[in-house]
Structure 1
């Protein structure tokens, strides 16, 4: 046998070294500088499994025969015909040309929601948009499934989304200065394993240990006790899901009732505070928002709320709000209410005080952040500005010509004829998948470019096999990572797959725009160019020296300039006039003139508690509130069959966690297969009975490979998005409302075979002509 080669690489779960022998990966070693590497990196060899990859360019038989006139309801059931790369790229180029010429470029939807890989060159979504911008443009999406309503309301009330993008108080200042920490949602190394664009060092756990060692009082507000590690000495407040805004407003109301609100800060640094106070003290609607009011809504103890309200003013206090809270109906409100509470307390701009969003929702949020340029290939200039909010895909496909609102303006859904999806899987991340399945029959042509034969690829007309990151050269890095990481090719491409850059370059050539697309550079030419842009910016703008490209490529990494011990809005607090925010008033907006003028009933002009469409406060006794959070063993549906993901399953299915009281009431035993359902769909999962879940709640992680198997559409792998609600958070933000979802559960007698493998084997057979 030959010697083992050590190949530096990076994925969304961090940097590592691949051990390669005789063309195969035989091991994975964590990055030497990472104190808390993710175990998911050991699943990376699964990417080379040919059973999961798309073997060659494929075209659905019916579409190949009739093109745009084919029977679209046969997507996912009809055989695929293998074709050459030349034929496949010709078909794709012809479709782009046909649709743009006949209907206009807005009828091309370049969905391609990211997370395809951490490489900055072969970032499928960016490359697709770069190519299409050279031929007239496309309809795009704005925001993300992870966080949409939150940034929209913060851009309006704080002037930017910095507070939820990793630019709020860094965790080192919280560990040093905070005395009372209130965690709304999660603050967990589980979600901090992952970072868009890769990450060099996972720091969240070390900061949490410093916080625990200092003896900071921590109040953890979540329906799930394990949203904070058990070794953190925290008080668990098992709140009713979707009611965090009510608790925040009840705390603020108690402070106002006691006359202890920060009048000077409110006068100097906010606008519209009088509207919020009138809502809190009841003068606006006759209902006082106090501890008693909040306790009834949230299912918590009123006296504990009163005591916490006093402590928040008496001590240096910090509020953290996880991204998950805004993935719900009226998801703007917990983010705005937290800002309102922090303003009432008056410690924004002080070390260890105020509010921040998304800590540990990704690995870099809260860590010292990169202040240099992040490597990225340009998408070039957009010729048209047609867009939809990211989670409104089904609405767009089902309602061409219909209208939607976003950030106070009215827009029109395009008449979508062509969908080109590169490096993404909406049959994982979109809500109400049965509704999506109907919407998916509307476009004339669907092109999917992906390494894996995903549920989305299975339902395409043309499938283009892209290499995974381990089969090509690239580099990783982003604005929340303190390293740029070399991603060297470790193995030969599997099957007939090609790198994303090469696929788009071939299509661009057939569209006559190859020169504009590649700018005369090949793969390694672009990798070098992207790194040199980062290095040049660091030295010219910041005086920070990074190694030259050859040294970087040989070593496998380079450090970036970072900012630590950052206090959010410190300069603004000192002098608001000299450091105005980009808001309607130049200050923090607690009462909005813009929203008052719009008159939306689902997003009022001040922070407010609004009942969601589905919640335990107005449900049947048989209802459970579904929480579909990120799994511990994978990212979304990526490496779903990897060792870390498989280890987190039971009996080949996802684990559905529920409280012992709820299990007993339904005759459910631990380890038993259960059916979870509502009016939108049904799925199977394996019950895990635990007191770490609040009564009335069922937890089913996202990412199970969508596997509907019988005539009734029963999903057998445990994909919660057959159940979730597909509505916007509000007319203003239009984010996804996945966490507003009631379900029922019952014991189910089922075949315990590995349904996933059985079903996937049948689908892979579709690739055989």
Structure 2
């Protein structure tokens, strides 16, 4: 008999069909107009081949531990075999290391890594459970921001008073679809990335809004190195810009408007601060260089006539600027966001329906599509007793430079001396840059605990390994502040091997540390899920008068509607009354010239929006170099479900596709389907060449997420672009990652290359055999 179990993942909500503890099918939610095909891959989580099935300890670490040796005991990470352990011994090893490090070095020396993409469930959210546990014993060093978006929120918090404009609360897409006449898309507006949402998604609505935009005849300009960053049926005007030069284009557009005397001086005077320094920069009064269409054309590769015409159209019509999260993942990544805000301020349509600027549309599926105004379910971390943190992308710096200093949001801090890392529910060997540098730094801590369902490259490089269940093997609740639904996630199958839920792992160790009662508050799994739902339900009733179903009805149906706002115009109240609705900025207004940054005098983040050439870009490239874009793949999320059928269908010859323009391939003697070696100053990987005119000349597109698999010669075999990307901060202000600032060389490869899957699975034979 087939059981039908409501469930959810980062790709949406659906029903899992289960028979005899086996998943036999997946059906999308019937109210979802555009469900993601990735949901049909989730059955791969139940396959044991790459699962961690038992607690384990690395043999070399255990020997050093028994001898009380701490210096150099990480040297064998990634090479030693693992020994299987009973759960009680694994728990005591973990608890003992926590006690030791706190006693000898303090809580700041514990780094609690990851931000939890393993599951959309909010109760078994791995980092939340880990951080709640560690907060009860004195705290930990954590991170701020994410690899997806860091520099952008930092500059917007300073210039707009919050990061709401890049978190899904700028103009809603339904408002843009109804009111905008000229839509300028910097980066992407694509269902490829809109398949996904952290914490799950009820319905996918991006395509619905894009169809309405087409129906209304909105003029759409796509400014991106890849034509595939907007569906072809939108029929946009494609401007194949040089990567990392969007700031110059925004400045050139603003300069054209200013020179023509068509800027909205009243809006600038009433709603912004520091505009004088910004406008002076546009006029070239300080550096002698007027920022106009001709100047921007030299930098961006876009014709000056096109730029001048767009500047006129953006003032003549209701215009909206959208800018992807990807643009701020680059050297000086704060600048495109600030320059777009400056351009929108010069035009003066901020706060009007369908006008102004917003960030991150389609970067995740809920951004701008569902303005959830209710309280989403969440498992509390509790109070963090200590203050230690790092910007998320500075993990290698933390490990390499204990006691060193770093700046963030205008303040100076110190890197703690990290002795213990506990990484739960994430894979830095996917999302970090310059993986070869990370691999060397990863050997420095005394102990690394990794908690994960899958035998990732991070697990392979751990000391104590804790096998976690996938969401399919436990009950949970899905939902987030950008989802229109809260979703029941029923247990579909029994746990594989000896895997335990993330909450049960943390609970057992909390018991050994004497904080179990505070950790659980007397609730079991279903008690917590009910408690979290009831908090959401009570909030909907109290603040919005919305009646959500009783828990039993919700759990049986599988979902409940959240309170959402439609036709939202960002900063409408501020525009109407700037004094009555002051922003949380240094001036209470939109900041176009920053006193704080003027005081700090950061060379890489000046006091107003500025064009700064990045460390690597086509304007300073050798003739044989291409600019690498490492985008989100179509068939998976990050490195999850990388070997499922849909993900494999997007590969060629078992490797990632490196997409390039036919003219660039011809220069290098590369034919479609050839194996190529892609190399940078950091490392090299193999991929398969795919030739397409939808990629701009001078650009190579290689998606993220293949499992890090170094070959015998040190060249990464699967096509992981993060062996190529530089591990440098966006600036001293934001400290975000600069993944999209990367020049590479591409060459045709002849001869046999080892199969990446075979090599990876072979690397697991010794540790898994020891089980």
TM-score with structure 1 setting the length: 0.99
> Which residue of structure 2 lines up, in the alignment, with residue 614 of structure 1?
616
> Which residue of structure 2 lines up, in the alignment, with residue 510 of structure 1?
512
Q: Which of 170, 173, 181 is the aligned partner of 2:172?
A: 170
Say yes or no: does 1:394 pair with 2:396: yes
Q: How does 1:83-98 map to 2 (within 5 A)?
A: 83-98=85-100
Shift of residue 155, structure 1, vs aligned partner: 0.1
- Where 2:191 maps in the other structure, the secondary structure is coil
Q: Which of 305, 308, 319 is the aligned partner of 1:306?
A: 308
Bigger drift between 365-374 and 575-584 goes to 365-374
Q: How does 1:36-435 map to 2 (within 5 A)?
A: 36-67=34-65, 68-69=70-71, 71-435=73-437
Residues 711-751 of structure 1: CA deviation (Å, up to 9, x unaligned): x3110000000000100000000000000000000001253
Shift of residue 541, structure 1, vs aligned partner: 1.6
**Preserved CA contact (<8 Å) 1:244 1:334:** yes
> Which residue of structure 1 lines up, in the alignment, with residue 573 of structure 2?
571
Residues 460-503 of structure 1: CA deviation (Å, up to 9, x unaligned): 00010000000000010001101011000000000110000000
Residues 191-215 of structure 1: CA deviation (Å, up to 9, x unaligned): 0000000001000011011101111
**Preserved CA contact (<8 Å) 1:651 1:754:** no
Q: Which of 5, 8, 21 is the aligned partner of 1:7?
A: 5
- Where 1:256 maps in the other structure, the secondary structure is helix
- Where 1:662 maps in the other structure, the secondary structure is helix
**Preserved CA contact (<8 Å) 1:126 1:377:** yes
- Where 1:241 maps in the other structure, the secondary structure is coil
Hey, what's the Cα distance between the residues in 1 that align with 2:142 and 2:616? 30
Shift of residue 87, structure 1, vs aligned partner: 0.3
**Preserved CA contact (<8 Å) 2:396 2:441:** yes
**Preserved CA contact (<8 Å) 1:505 1:518:** yes
Shift of residue 65, structure 1, vs aligned partner: 1.2
Hey, what's the Cα distance between the residues in 2 that align with 1:746 and 1:193? 33
Hey, what's the Cα distance between the residues in 2 that align with 1:668 and 1:102? 57
- Where 2:233 maps in the other structure, the secondary structure is coil
Shift of residue 233, structure 1, vs aligned partner: 1.3
Shift of residue 752, structure 1, vs aligned partner: 6.0
Q: Which of 459, 462, 473 is the aligned partner of 1:460?
A: 462
Hey, what's the Cα distance between the residues in 2 that align with 1:551 and 1:764? 47
Shift of residue 114, structure 1, vs aligned partner: 2.2
**Preserved CA contact (<8 Å) 1:453 1:764:** no
Shift of residue 55, structure 1, vs aligned partner: 1.4
> Which residue of structure 1 lines up, in the alignment, with residue 630 of structure 2?
628
TM-score with structure 2 setting the length: 0.99
**Preserved CA contact (<8 Å) 1:674 1:684:** yes
Residues 46-91 of structure 1: CA deviation (Å, up to 9, x unaligned): 0001011001001000111112356322111110000000000000
Residues 283-308 of structure 1: CA deviation (Å, up to 9, x unaligned): 12110000000000001100110011
Hey, what's the Cα distance between the residues in 2 that align with 1:119 and 1:242? 35
- Where 1:265 maps in the other structure, the secondary structure is helix
Shift of residue 763, structure 1, vs aligned partner: 1.6
Hey, what's the Cα distance between the residues in 1 that align with 2:72 and 2:600? 44
Hey, what's the Cα distance between the residues in 1 that align with 2:232 and 2:406? 44
- Where 1:338 maps in the other structure, the secondary structure is helix
**Preserved CA contact (<8 Å) 1:726 1:736:** yes
Hey, what's the Cα distance between the residues in 1 that align with 2:750 and 2:42? 34
Hey, what's the Cα distance between the residues in 2 that align with 1:754 and 1:561? 50
Cα 1:614–1:310 change in 2 (3 A) is: same
Cα RMSD of the aligned pairs, angstroms, is 0.8
Residues 291-341 of structure 1: CA deviation (Å, up to 9, x unaligned): 000000001100110011011000000000000000000000000000000
Q: Which of 659, 663, 684 is the aligned partner of 2:661?
A: 659
> Which residue of structure 1 lines up, in the alignment, with residue 605 of structure 2?
603
Shift of residue 767, structure 1, vs aligned partner: 2.4
> Which residue of structure 2 lines up, in the alignment, with residue 722 of structure 1?
723
Residues 327-365 of structure 1: CA deviation (Å, up to 9, x unaligned): 000000000000000000000000000000000000000
Hey, what's the Cα distance between the residues in 1 that align with 2:759 and 2:598? 55
> Which residue of structure 1 lines up, in the alignment, with residue 26 of structure 2?
28
- Where 1:484 maps in the other structure, the secondary structure is strand
Hey, what's the Cα distance between the residues in 2 that align with 1:135 and 1:642? 40
Hey, what's the Cα distance between the residues in 2 that align with 1:252 and 1:588? 16
- Where 1:568 maps in the other structure, the secondary structure is coil
Residues 153-178 of structure 1: CA deviation (Å, up to 9, x unaligned): 00000000000000000001111000
**Preserved CA contact (<8 Å) 1:330 1:603:** yes
> Which residue of structure 1 lines up, in the alignment, with residue 736 of structure 2?
735
Hey, what's the Cα distance between the residues in 2 that align with 1:332 and 1:69? 40
**Preserved CA contact (<8 Å) 2:488 2:554:** yes
- Where 1:74 maps in the other structure, the secondary structure is coil
Residues 396-432 of structure 1: CA deviation (Å, up to 9, x unaligned): 0000000000000000000000000000000000000
Hey, what's the Cα distance between the residues in 2 that align with 1:759 and 1:349? 52
Hey, what's the Cα distance between the residues in 1 that align with 2:192 and 2:698? 23
**Preserved CA contact (<8 Å) 1:319 1:355:** yes
Shift of residue 266, structure 1, vs aligned partner: 0.3
Hey, what's the Cα distance between the residues in 2 that align with 1:58 and 1:122? 21
Hey, what's the Cα distance between the residues in 2 that align with 1:502 and 1:759? 30
- Where 1:391 maps in the other structure, the secondary structure is helix
Q: How does 1:485-634 map to 2 (within 5 A)?
A: 485-634=487-636
**Preserved CA contact (<8 Å) 1:141 1:389:** yes
Hey, what's the Cα distance between the residues in 1 that align with 2:137 and 2:73? 28
- Where 2:232 maps in the other structure, the secondary structure is coil
- Where 1:73 maps in the other structure, the secondary structure is coil
Shift of residue 761, structure 1, vs aligned partner: 3.4
Hey, what's the Cα distance between the residues in 2 that align with 1:27 and 1:331? 43
Hey, what's the Cα distance between the residues in 2 that align with 1:752 and 1:554? 51
Shift of residue 586, structure 1, vs aligned partner: 0.3
